[in-house]
Chains A and B, each alone.
Chain A
Amino acid sequence: MKLPIADSAQVRAYTRHLFRLHRRPLTRIAALHTLAAIAGLAGPWLLGRLVDAVADGTTTGYVDTLIAVGAAAVLAQTVLIRFAQRSSMVFGEMVFAQLREEFIETVTSLPLSTVERAGTGDLVSRTTNDINRLQHAVRFGVPRVIVAVVTITLTVIATLIMSPLVAIAMFVGVPTMVAVVRWYLKRATPAYQRESAAYAALNGTITESVEGARTVDALRLGKRRMGRVNTDLSEAFVAEKATLRLRTILFPAVDLAFVLAPVAVLVWGGYLASNDYVTLGTVTTIVLYTYQVTGPVWELIFWVDEIQVAATSLARIVGVQLVETDRVERPAQPADEDIAARGLRYAYREGHDVLHSIDLDLAAGERLAVVGPSGAGKSTLGRMLAGIHPPTGGSVTVGGVPLVDLPLDELRGHVALVTQEHHVFVGTLADNLRLADEGADDAELLRALDAVDARGWVDALPDGLSTEVGSGGAPLTPAQAQQIALARLVLLDPHTLVLDEATSLLDPRAARHLERSLNGVLEGRTVVAIAHRLHTAHDADRVAVVDGGRISEIGPHDELVAAGGDYAALWHSWQHEQA
């Protein structure tokens, strides 16, 4: 299952919403930049006046006055730029902080079923790559675009005020430029995305080669890995050539506009000046404006391009908000702690049921083992029983109330899913445990660690509970990480646990230690254990054999063995092997 991506209308709506939300600071920033840009127009204007003054003969007093005005303009621009830049950057930081905090909040409240099925890869890349790319655009791009737009607009207005007649000549190259820039911008985003995808693939290839260096060596995959590097580089080359082609057309087209503009202004202005429509000083000013506006135009093109790319990141960030909730809370109190499934069906894709009408009653405190071949639907059943996915048909209830009707906080107090996946969060060990119970004091945390047999190594850590763990902190073995996960369960204290191969990925030694930790957690709870190993089944009060999305056999171990069905056959072969 893929997470949604917002379409362009949704991205536009979101951007408009942001603009509306921050209309006041944006107006202030634009005003400051406008004033700064006006001050920036003084130089060429003064020079034009000087040219006229020199041509007409003038006094040093007049020249000094003009220069003093110029100096004042520079000072004014300096001060205005200082405040304009500061407030636009501070504003950018504020908006962006808000945006990323909102995003994380959305992510951490994604529906359980989405989180389980979408995997975390896509979300991680949205949280890191997309946020960073957007940050670049918001932090640097938006202020630059504002400055560029304001400067270009004011320069055009200034020339029109000074002499609309001469100003016309300035635009001689503009139609081609606009046409080419539009052509370019339409193609730039996908082309640059292809480029960065190619480099990402190359980085991925190198990462894989390094991480799998032993396997590369053992299976003599070196040539293949090198071939992959070359393939990635070829793709990067093709992508680079494509963007280069775009620029090969863009650059001269824009340059041409800026070559033609001063030439046209000089010739047309010279003609007008010789007929006394304008002074040569005015022509000078406008020629200098055409040179001066080159920088902002390039900057605008560059940033529009970047912002287009950032918009695709924004689409992925806004997209997460589009995930629909998978459950509606309803007020109802479970009558007891018995979990029951009735006519339970589930389909990941419509019409392809993975579970076919399952009925199951769990008595409080019983241990049910679920066995069966891979792909039979064991894990899906487990997730249904833990209230992760709302069923496609039928229901799973606790004390008569459907699990998916319960508020999440309450659901967690009833039933928890334990998988082979574990994750140690960046933070102290205590932080890691308190996830399950924010109010727990240190004594309670230690009791929980005791219960899972982890007290020994925790006490041996340099700072005990306050030791920093997770990425960059004290390294923990997979078994220790799993024990932390189990200690969290003790703190969470649900009456029912669904174990999905909780220890199957660990090596046999670690698994042995963990089994004991696990016993500390299972004590006094209803347990559904999805198992590979038959001993778990033998140990349980009842065994359910799941095959093809149905419970084909269910009952106590001895009864099933006596019944002589699939389970019995399996058991006998195992028993036989054991001897």
Chain B
Amino acid sequence: MRNLPLDDPGNPPLSGPVRYLWWLTLRQWGILGVAVLLGIVLFACQAALPLLTGHAIDSGLAHGFGADLWRSAALLGFLGLVSAAAGAVGHRYDVANWLRASFTSSQLVGRTVSRSGHAITAELPTGEVVSAVANDALRVGELFAVLARFVGSIVAYGIAAVLMLRISVPLGLVVILGLPAVAVSLAALIRPLQRRQVAQRDASGRLTTLGSDTVSGLRILRGIGGEGVFNARYREQSQRVRERGVDVAGTQSWLDALQVLLPGAFVVVLVWLGAHMAIDGTITAGQLVTTYGYAAFLGWPVQNATMMVQAATRAHVGAGKVINVLRVVPSSGATPGKAPMPAAGAPLVDTTSGVHVDAGRLVALVSADPDESARIATRLGRFDDEAEASTPVTLGGTPLADLDKTALRERVVVAEATPHLFSGTLAAELDVHGPQDEERLLRAIALADAHDVVDSTPGGLAGELPEKGRSLSGGQRQRVALARALLLDPEILVLVEPTSAVDAHTEARIAARLVDARGGRTTLVVTASPLVLDHVDEVQFVQDGVLVASGTHATLLESAEPWAPAYHRVVGRRLDDSTPADGVTIITDAVDGRALDAAGTDDDPIADEAFDELLATFDDDLDDHELDPTTPPRTGGRS
């Protein structure tokens, strides 16, 4: 069997499921042909068995134990062996066909997903994409697995028909026409059964949801109570599933009974006809056995035909869903770059806001509205060519959308606020493009202050990280993501809120090391934390989507410009998740009358009583350090 997966899954036509299935068929016609051939051999041998059995019995009746019986038995044994061999080898080919088709589909889905960017989640629910691999690809493969048996079954049916007609035309006609009639009437009964099965599956799905919901919230449930309520709810739904199951049992048991009755009645009629013909001498006793044998045997090809119809329907639906995924166009870089890459050291400029990242500097981006700075950072990352067409970002004057995406990503990396950690060894997930040598890793880990992650991961750097870094706390995940971003070491690195979930000690340490870590390469940090702002070369402050000021943190703090109160409010908030933010506002209120307005327009002003209380708490301390002269700026401000 050829090794799978193939190196290149190819490029299928996406115009429709039939075209797609045909494309797959052509790609594996060789093994499919062999499988069909073996299927024909298997079924042809099987189709001869009732005839030979009848013949052997006739030989025994006519000549007793002798050469004729031996010959019939030997032929029966030989054909049996051939069909067993064809069955075993055929099964291998069936599986090979299945795997080839389904693996190719999975690979194609995997390739689309790894190239699409956020377009995939924007266009399709995650469940549907996963299901394309988990179910639909397998359904597509199934078609190729049952095809050989289907073709074999048709051949067997033809052989049986000819043999039966040669024994007796009326008996032959009853067998050939009667069986499909039985199959069709059974199929008609399947509808109501399927309806009830769907009802049960739905109820059962809800039960599973309820169960996993209960278990997902188990810590809370155990912490505050309510287990009784949840058990009762689960029990209620569980009983509902049981009742639906009893409904299914009602229909299913009738169907099972009819599956005995209809073919049984068919055989009774056939045997009655045959027996009378045998008494008349129209057919032999052995031929009566043969007739009975075919009545039983032909149920099998008919069943295979039904399976084929079902498989083809499912494959058609499955192929449609696979194509749906394959049709997703990457959100950026769908077309090749048309402009040459600007030289190293070119500035990255967001033309909409005026935010600009000049070569070699460590810049912080602060915005009155945190969503605004996140939007700017996103634009800098070129995640969506279409959406960003009206808000272009340029590198050295060339719009990012005109550049080759891969080359751009090597130079400019935007690490977003909620980065995703993937499962894998810690070393591989940290140094995603590098050599993963220990010294390099430990340096980055030290920079991001993530020693505790290595210590708490069983196996250390070689240890496995679960998906989404589930074994880590929020702060640990953030530091791992930071180390990962730093290890990429791109010419321009944009970090969005890299330390928002990290404690104050650690944040201060990381901020201090960041300067050395980037060693003169260009860096933009989106943050409002003074612990970080104090270490950067320059702060750019954005208000209402436009750059209003830049300079060192200290300069901006001292400014009395109209935007200054807003700046104070933003950077103050981070010192203390809520309280001093408003405290600072009040103090600056004395300096600048506008602050009160700013506080008043805050979309969620603090409740009055709480406000007074907080003021009382902080009054003393604020007096102490609010007017305390700041540390001298390390580098000169720009403004």
Report yes or no: A199 in contact with B414, Cβ–Cβ below 8 A: no
Assess whether A409 is in contact with B218, with CB atoms less than 8 Å apart.
no
CB nearest to A92 among chain B residues: B245
Residue of B nearest to A132 (CB): B208
Contact call A233/B103, Cβ cutoff below 8 A: yes
Residue B219 is within 8 A (CB to CB) of chain A in the complex: yes
Instruction: Say yes or no: A267 contacts B500, CB within 8 Å.
Output: no
- Do the beta carbons of B222 and A94 come within 8 Å of each other? no
Instruction: Determine the chain B residues whose CB is within 8 A of the CB of A336 once the complex forms.
Output: none
Q: Is B12 an interface residue (CB 8 A)?
A: no
CB pair A128–B114 under 8 Å, yes or no, is no
For the complex, what is the distance from the CA of A429 to the CA of B626, rounded to whole Å? 44
Indicate if B386 sits at the interface (CB-CB under 8 A).
no
B230-256 interface (Cβ within 8 A of A): 230-231, 233-235, 238-239, 241-242, 245-246, 248-250, 252-254, 256
B578 to A: closest C-beta gap in Å: 4
Q: Does B631 contact A (CB under 8 A)?
A: yes
CB contact under 8 A between A508 and B242, given known A55-B61, A108-B231: no
Q: Are A78 and B474 interface neighbours, CB within 8 A?
A: no
Q: Contacting chain B: which of A16-24, A96-104, A153-161, A178-186?
A: A96-104
Rounded to whole angstroms, the CA-CA distance of A213 and B416 in the bound complex is 12
Which of A219, A288, A508 is close to B488, meaning CB atoms less than 8 Å apart? A219
Q: Which residue of chain A has the shortest Cβ distance to B406 in the bound complex?
A: A220
Q: Are B84's CB and A259's CB within 8 A?
A: yes
23 A-B interface contacts by CB (under 8 A):
A46-B271, A70-B268, A78-B264, A89-B249, A97-B238, A97-B241, A109-B227, A112-B223, A124-B216, A206-B110, A210-B126, A213-B119, A216-B117, A229-B111, A251-B87, A255-B88, A260-B80, A280-B61, A283-B57, A288-B293, A423-B220, A436-B226, A438-B229
State which residues 201-223 of A face B: CB under 8 Å.
202-223
* A105 in contact (CB, < 8 A): yes
Q: A452 in the interface, Cβ–Cβ < 8 Å?
A: no
CA–CA, A425 and B215, complex, Å: 10
Query: Which chain A residues in 229-256 approach chain B with CB under 8 Å?
Result: 229-230, 233-234, 236-237, 240-241, 244, 247-248, 251-252, 255-256
- Residue contact A89 to B505, C-beta cutoff 8 Å: no
Nearest CB in chain A: distance from B20 CB, A: 19
Question: Whose C-beta in chain B lies nearest to the C-beta of A77?
Answer: B260
Q: Which of A280, A431, A504, A577 contacts B530 (CB 8 A)?
A: A577
Q: How far is the CB of A297 from chain B (nearest CB, A)?
A: 14
Asked if B118 is an interface residue, CB under 8 A from chain A, the answer is yes
Interface string of B106-142 (1 = CB under 8 A from A): 1101110111111111000010011001100000000
Asked if B22 is at the interface (CB within 8 A of a chain A CB), the reply is: no
Please tell me if the beta carbons of A425 and B213 are within 8 angstroms of each other in the complex: yes
Contact present for A373 and B275 (CB under 8 Å): no
Residues of B within 8 A of A465 (CB): none
- With known contacts A119-B470, A266-B76, A534–B504 Cβ distance under 8 A: yes
Are A90 and B246 also in contact (CB < 8 A) when A67-B272, A247-B91, A535-B579 are?
yes
How far does the Cβ of B190 sit from chain A's closest Cβ, in whole Å?
15
A554 in contact (CB, < 8 A): no
Confirm or deny: A363 has a beta carbon within 8 angstroms of a beta carbon on chain B. no
Given contacts A90-B246, A225-B110, A436-B225, contact A283 B84 (CB under 8 A): no
Chain B residues, Cβ within 8 Å of A124: 212, 215-216
- Chain A residue at minimum C-beta to C-beta distance from B330: A217
> Which of A6-14, A392-400, A568-576 lies on the face that meets chain B?
A568-576
Q: A225-B114, A255-B88, A538-B621 are in contact. Are A270 and B420 (CB under 8 A)?
A: no
Bound-state Cα–Cα, A425 to B370, Å: 30
Is A550 positioned at the interface, with any CB of B under 8 Å from its CB?
Answer: no
> Which residues of A are found within 8 Å of B272, using beta-carbon distances?
63-64, 67
In the docked arrangement, what's the CA distance between A499 and B252, Å? 55
**Residues from 185 to 206 in B contacting A, C-beta threshold 8 Å:** 204
Q: How far is the CA of A274 from the CA of B264 in the complex (A)?
A: 32
* A-chain residues with CB within 8 Å of residue B182 when the two chains form the complex: none
Which residue in B5, B72, B253, B432 is a CB contact (below 8 Å) of A82? B253
- How far in angstroms is the closest Cβ of chain A from B138? 8
Contacting pair B452 A215 (CB below 8 A): no
Interface of B is mostly: helix
Question: B60–A270 contact, CB under 8 A?
Answer: yes
Q: Could you say which residues of chain B place their CB within 8 Å of the CB of A323?
A: none
Place the interface of chain B in its size category. Answer: 35 or more
CB distance from A432 to the nearest CB of B (A): 9
For chain B residues 35-80, which have a beta carbon within 8 Å of chain A? 53, 56-57, 59-61, 64-66, 69-70, 72-73, 76-77, 80
Question: Is A292 touching B271 in the complex (CB atoms < 8 A)?
Answer: no
Report how many A-B pairs have Cβ atoms within 8 Å: 500
Give a binary string over A497-509; 1 marks a CB under 8 Å from any B CB, 0 the rest: 0000101110111
Check B271–A67 contact: CB distance below 8 A. Answer: yes
Partner of A214, one of B220, B257, B420: B420
Determine whether the beta carbon of A425 is less than 8 Å from that of B217.
Answer: yes
Contact B261 A202 (CB under 8 A): no
Contact A374 B85 (CB under 8 A): no
- Answer whether residue B329 sits at the interface, using C-beta atoms and an 8 A cutoff: no
**Cα A485 to Cα B226 with chains together (Å):** 13
CA separation between A288 and B50, bound complex, in Å?
A: 10
- How far is the CB of B635 from the nearest CB of chain A, in Å? 17
Q: Is the CB of A252 within 8 A of B288?
A: no
Q: Contacting B476 at CB < 8 Å: which of A229, A374, A427, A453?
A: A374
| In the assembled complex, A81 has its CB within 8 A of some CB on chain B | yes
Among B60, B88, B211, B256, point to the contact of A252 (Cβ < 8 A). Answer: B88
Known: A234-B4, A270-B56. A128 touches B211 (CB 8 A): yes
Complex contact A423–B216 (CB within 8 A): yes
Asked if B317 is an interface residue, CB under 8 A from chain A, the answer is no
Name the B residues within 8 Å of A574 (CB-CB).
504, 508, 575
Complex: A414 Cα to B231 Cα, angstroms: 24
Within 8 A of A (CB), among B318-333: 331-332
Q: Which of B119, B216, B456, B530 has a CB less than 8 Å from the CB of A578?
A: B530
In the bound complex, CA of A128 to CA of B452 (Å): 33
Those of A128-161 within 8 Å (CB) of chain B: 128, 131-132, 135, 139
Do B57 and A255 have beta carbons less than 8 Å apart?
no
Q: In the bound complex, do residue A213 and residue B215 qualify as a contact, i.e. CB atoms below 8 Å apart?
A: no
Q: In the complex, how many angstroms separate the beta carbon of A94 from the nearest chain B beta carbon?
A: 7
Q: A132-B208, A266-B73, A375-B455 are in contact. Are A51 and B285 (CB under 8 A)?
A: yes
8 Å CB interface, A437-466 against B: 438, 453
Whether a CB of chain A sits under 8 angstroms from the CB of B210 is: yes
Contact with A along B518-551 (1 / 0, CB 8 A): 0000000000101100100000000000000000
CB-nearest residue of chain B to A70: B268
A170 shortest CB reach to chain B, Å:
14
The CA-CA distance from A339 to B319 in the complex, in Å, is 64
Q: Does A302 contact B (CB under 8 A)?
A: no
In the complex, B628 has a CB within 8 A of chain A = yes
| Pairwise interchain contact B246-A535, C-beta atoms closer than 8 A | no
Digit string of A56-71 for contact with B (CB within 8 Å is 1, else 0)?
Answer: 0010100110110011
Q: Which of B254, B276, B484, B485 contacts A63 (CB 8 A)?
A: B276
- Select B573's contact among A90, A222, A271, A512, beta carbons within 8 Å: A512
Task: Judge whether B110 and A273 touch: CB under 8 Å.
Answer: no
B612 lies within 8 A of chain A by Cβ: no
Q: With an 8 A cutoff between CB atoms, is A421 at the interface?
A: yes
Give the residues in chain A near B504, CB-CB below 8 Å.
532-534, 570, 574
Residues in A with CB closer than 8 Å to B631 are: 576, 579
A332 at the interface (CB under 8 A from B): no
B638 touches A (CB below 8 Å): no
Q: Which residues of A contact B265 (CB under 8 A)?
A: 71, 74
Other A-B contacts than A43-B292, A574-B575, 5 sampled, CB-CB below 8 A, are: A50-B278, A54-B278, A121-B466, A225-B110, A436-B225
**With A100-B238, A516-B578 given, is the CB distance from A93 to B84 under 8 Å?**
no
Residue of B nearest to A250 (CB): B88
Bound-state CA distance A384–B383 (Å) is 46
What 5 pairs across the A-B complex have the smallest Cβ distances?
A259-B80, A435-B226, A212-B420, A229-B110, A535-B576
